[in-house]
Amino acid sequence: MPDVRVSGLTKRYGEVVAVDAIDLEIAPGEFFTMLGPSGSGKTTTLRMIAGFEIPDEGTIELAGEDVSRLPPYDRPVNTVFQDYALFPHMTVQQNVEYGLMVKRVPKGERRKRAEEALEMVRLAGYGERKPSQLSGGQRQRVALARAIVNRPRVLLLDEPLGALDLKLRQQMQVELKSIQREVGITFVYVTHDQEEALTMSDRIAVFNQGRVEQVGPPAAVYEHPQSEFIAGFVGVSNVIARDGRRYTVRPEKIRLVENGSEPEPGWHVEPGVVQDVQYVGAFTRYHVALDRGGELQVLAQNLAEGSSQVLEAKGRRLRVQWRPEQESVIDESEGGSE
Ligand code: ADP
Ligand code: MG
């Protein structure tokens, strides 16, 4: 039985269909991410699961129970927001205990559970500090502890790392994922950041204009996007038109071959000209204009070359090649070239 089942979920705000007949099933213990651009309906979906918004149509089941008409406090879920919402005048310990105090959990147990939760988020010994004495990443972990101390069945997280800078965010991605594995709680995680979704999730649902366009494990979504929107949003859109169909192939799957050298047997080969070269340190990005129209981005690791050498490729005629199984057909439109 799924932990979360959402069927035909719809929410309108006047003319705007914020969430448009969404179906989702999330398994117990899964790290499930809702990924999509701003305005695609992620937060509204999360808020309906939490009970902060009432759906216009559809149902929400948590562990098999229809909770669609239950208020938030009667649902086995907790939410972690981007802005932490910690009480500044309380200590870390008091912040984490707060929800248990409201539920009248006795003091001794409260203290013990809060300490356990702080240990889980690697903040043992920080209980007496005030939120202002913590870093951004530590504050976010207090917010997490405050949610898991309630032992929810499902934890809902709306862009919880959005306020952190890149390095800290990447660190917290790894930590959040390992905390989730340890506590075993189902995570429903909202982000607009494709890298975050790809690194942390067991499965990703890609949102576009209130609809879910694809659901699958990170590698499936990245390597076999089912629509041109997904190809462009989760990675770089490399679209090729051939035989009246449209295909994508990811930039790192494509190899550059000098004219005159033998292409790999069985690979798909296209002649073209290097329009532009960007040296990015670990790799180089090439923009290749194909002879029969369209442009492809190609990523090549800088295994040996110095920057001056790779930049010399600009203007060169060459061929690009890839294995046919690394193409994905995009079904939403046909024909035409880029
Ligand atoms: P996301 O979280 O993916 O950025 P949201 O779920 O917040 O998207 O918003 C989806 C759409 O619904 C947007 O067009 C947004 O403007 C609209 N919307 C969300 N909340 C409200 C609201 N309370 N009133 C009116 N429109 C809203
Ligand atoms: Mg949002």
The residue whose CA is least distant from atom 25 of ligand 1 is 13
- Domains annotated for the chain, with CATH where assigned, are 4-229 (3.40.50.300), 238-331 (2.40.50.100)
Q: State in Å: Cα 166 to ligand 1 middle.
A: 26
The residue whose CA is least distant from atom 27 of ligand 1 is 13
Tell me if 42 CB under 6 Å of ligand 1: yes
pLDDT of residue 68: 94
- CA 62 – CA 75 distance, rounded (Å): 8
Q: State in Å: Cα 115 to ligand 2 middle.
A: 31
Report the share of the chain in percent with pLDDT over 90: 73
pTM for the full model? 0.90
The residue whose CA is least distant from atom 22 of ligand 1 is 13
- Residues 149/113, Cβ–Cβ less than 8 Å: yes
Average pLDDT value for residue range 242-266: 89
With residue 140 as reference, give the H or E element that holds it: helix 136-148
178-183 contacts: CB < 8 A, separation 24 or more? Answer: 179/120, 179/121, 179/122, 179/144, 180/31, 182/120, 183/120, 183/148
The atom number, within ligand 1, closest to the CA of 34 reads: 3
With residue 241 as reference, give the H or E element that holds it: strand 239-242
Q: What is the pLDDT of residues 280-310, one digit of tens each?
A: 989 999 999 999 888 999 999 998 767 778 8
**In 149-258, alpha helices (H):** 166-183, 194-200, 218-223, 228-233
The atom number, within ligand 1, closest to the CA of 19 reads: 10
- The single-letter code of the amino acid at 155 is L
Closest CA to 212 of 41, 331, 4, 328: 41
Q: State in Å: Cα 82 to ligand 2 middle.
A: 10
Closest CA to 23 of 71, 70, 55: 55
* DSSP letter assigned to residue 156: E
Q: What is the pLDDT of residues 174-222, one digit of tens each?
A: 989 999 998 899 999 999 999 999 999 999 999 999 999 999 999 999 9
- Predicted confidence band of residue 82 (pLDDT cuts 50, 70, 90): confident
